[in-house]
Amino acid sequence: MQVTQQRYFTPEEYLQLEEAADYKSEYIDGEIIPMAGGTINHNQIALNLSTELNFAFKKQNNRVYMGDVRLWTPPKRTYTYPDVMILVDEPEFWNNRKDIIVNPQVIIEVLSKSTAAYDSEDKFQAYRTIPTFQEYLLIDQNRIHIDQFSKTGKKQWTLREYDEEDEKVSLVTVPFEISLEDVYNKVKFEVVEFAEERVDGEELG
Provide the CA 125 distance to its chain's centre, in angstroms: 13
Range 38-190 classified under CATH 2.60.40.1730: no
- Span 26-60, pLDDT tens digits: 999 999 988 876 789 999 999 999 999 999 999 89
How far is the C-alpha of 127 from the C-alpha of 116, rounded, in Å?
15
At 197 the pLDDT is 47
Is residue 15 within 8 Å of residue 25, measured between CB atoms? no
How far is the C-alpha of 46 from the C-alpha of 3, rounded, in Å?
29
Mean confidence (pLDDT) of the chain: 89
Is residue 111 within 8 Å of residue 140, measured between CB atoms? yes
- Span 94-151, pLDDT tens digits: 988 999 999 999 999 999 877 778 788 889 999 999 999 999 999 999 999 999 999 9
pLDDT band at 4 (very low <50, low <70, confident <90, very high): very low
At 117 the pLDDT is 80
Give the pLDDT mean for 192-204. 48
User: Where does the chain hold its CATH 3.90.1570.10 domain(s)?
Assistant: 38-190
Q: Which residues of 131-166 are buried (b: 16+ CB within 10 A; e: fewer)?
A: eebbbbbbbbbbebbbbbbbbeeeeeeeeeebeeee
Is residue 17 within 8 Å of residue 32, measured between CB atoms? yes
Q: What amino acid is encoded at 150 in this protein?
A: S
